[in-house]
Amino acid sequence: MRLDRLKLRNFRNFNDTDLTFPNRANLFVGPNGGGKTNLLESINYLSVAKSHRGGRDRDLIKFGQESLRVEGTGKSDHGQVKVEIALTSQEKRIWLNSSQLSVSELVGTLPVVPLSSDDIETTRGAPLLRRRFVDMILSFLKPSYFAALLSYRRALQQRNRILTDAKTYNKRYESIESWDAQLIQFGSELIRFRMGFASELSRLASEYYEQIAAEGESYELTYVPSFPVEESSIEDSFADHLRKSRDLERDRGMTVVGPHRDDFAQRLNDKDMRRFASEGQQRTASTSMKLAGAELVHEGVGEWPIVLFDEVFAELDSERCERIGKAIDKFDQVFIATAKLETIPHLQFDKFFVEQGAVRTAG
């Protein structure tokens, strides 16, 4: 997968920007606050129609403007791909090759995997961050996973509303059983997908960790569902644990078991990385996991996703940076943003200088 052209109008601090990328490796360099991260964000926006940095959609619109537009033209093994997204405070509209479609239909057409210096939190931070990454990669690979994820979230939201009302107003909740059925159905699908996916992610992440760290350490990622489960009886186990958690749910006013509480534990030399790994080891682990996810997309759909690096290299020693550079040499296309050119691996880049929302080709 390659992005050949990017056009922005009123996206973050950019007015009208039109960039072309004839080569596979692209470097955005410039002072902090100039817009490098915003450019990477716009590329990822073409993939999933939302910001990977969080926040509200309307915050993407340049201050003082009422709308934005992002257009990306690229190519895959299946031909030309053109994604257009128009956003106002009232609506979001998406087109793929001039045909309008929904967000769920967009996901997977232009896969992008973003990495940033904040990714250390995917190792030492909350389980939500690890689940979010796994959900993204699986959604690229399996449209049925993304459909089940959306359905599960809807059922969970409705079920939690009933539980919250029951706690707040001391109401009965006879209607919760219908949402139980949907939670079990779609949640079991997610668990089944995750069980098979985790071992493959661990395999590749371990290989990347060994390649980047080069210190003979043993990395492992393990799926930790919120309740004990066997693949042959996921639905029954889920239903049983929902029944057993009724009193706790009533006290807390929320659903306490299910894939929204899962984790993906990372261990180094058989020790919990959140507690016993150094910052350098944690950063290497998070980078390895993201690169492994990108490779799984390649294995699953036959094409490499576009990979973004936002100040990733500034936080690692030069040896690890060079090893990452060698590891990503096989990727179809990468975009790297940095304020410190000296930290970047020795690759053949097209360089773009970014400052105050303006971009020019750098010599």
Please give the share of the chain, as a percent, with pLDDT higher than 90.
86
Residue 69 predicted with pLDDT over 90: yes
Q: At a CB cut-off of 8 Å and minimum separation 6, what does 161 contact?
A: none
For the full predicted model, state whether its pTM sits above 0.85: yes
Mean pLDDT of 212-217: 93
Provide the mean pLDDT of the chain. Answer: 94
**Which of 101-105, 140-144, 163-167, 334-338 is predicted with the least confidence, judged by mean pLDDT?**
163-167
Can you give the three-state secondary structure of the chain, one letter per residue?
Answer: CEEEEEEEEEECCEEEEEEECCCCEEEEECCCCCCHHHHHHHHHHHHHCCCCCCCCHHHHECCCCCEEEEEEEEEECCEEEEEEEEEECCCEEEEECCEEECHHHHCCCCCEEEEEHHHHHHHHCCHHHHHHHHHHHHHHHCHHHHHHHHHHHHHHHHHHHHHHHHHHHCCCCCCHHHHHHHHHHHHHHHHHHHHHHHHHHHHHHHHHHHHHHCCCCCEEEEEECCCCCCHHHHHHHHHHHHHHCHHHHHHHCCCCCCHHHCEEEEEECCEEHHHHCCHHHHHHHHHHHHHHHHHHHHHHHCCCCEEEEECCHHHCCHHHHHHHHHHHHHCCCEEEEECCHHHCCCCCCEEEEEECCEEEECC
Quick one: 168 exposed, middle or buried, by C-beta within 10 A (0-12, 13-18, 19+)?
exposed
So what's the pLDDT on residue 363? 60
Pairing of strands 306-310, 334-338: parallel
Pairing of strands 25-29, 350-355: parallel
Q: Say if residue 74 carries a ligand binding annotation.
A: no
What would the pLDDT profile of 94-103 be if each residue is shown by its tens digit? 999 999 999 9
Residue 201 predicted with pLDDT over 90: yes
Q: 290 and 115 in contact (C-beta within 8 Å)?
A: yes
Q: 80 and 73 in contact (C-beta within 8 Å)?
A: yes
Residue 156 predicted with pLDDT over 80: yes
Sheet with 271-272, strands from edge to edge, namely 219-224, 263-268, 271-272
Residue 206 predicted with pLDDT over 80: yes
Work out the end-to-end distance of the chain between its first and last CA atoms, rounded to an integer number of angstroms.
26
Q: 26 and 336 in contact (C-beta within 8 Å)?
A: yes
So what's the pLDDT on residue 26? 96
Mean pLDDT of 194-200: 97
Residue 277 predicted with pLDDT over 90: yes
Report residue 287 as tokens. 């980078």
Mean pLDDT of 56-76: 95
Residue 68 predicted with pLDDT over 90: yes
Separation between Cα atoms, residue 242 and residue 326, nearest integer Å: 48
Write down all domains in the chain, each with its CATH number in brackets: 1-111+303-363 (3.40.50.300), 122-302 (1.20.1050.90)
Mean pLDDT of 161-180: 83
47 pLDDT band, cuts 50/70/90, is very high
Q: Say if residue 255 carries a ligand binding annotation.
A: no
Q: Say if residue 269 carries a ligand binding annotation.
A: no
Q: Say if residue 23 carries a ligand binding annotation.
A: no
294 pLDDT band, cuts 50/70/90, is very high
Could you give the C-alpha distances from 297 to 108, 109, 229, in angstroms and in order? 10, 12, 27
* CA 118-119-125 angle, 5° bins: 95
Query: Tokens 């190792």 sit at which residue?
Result: 123
Residue 225 predicted with pLDDT over 70: yes
15 pLDDT band, cuts 50/70/90, is very high
Q: Say if residue 216 carries a ligand binding annotation.
A: no
What would the pLDDT profile of 246-273 be if each residue is shown by its tens digit? 999 989 999 999 999 999 999 999 999 9
Q: Say if residue 31 carries a ligand binding annotation.
A: yes
What would the pLDDT profile of 113-143 be if each residue is shown by its tens digit? 999 999 999 999 999 999 999 999 999 999 9
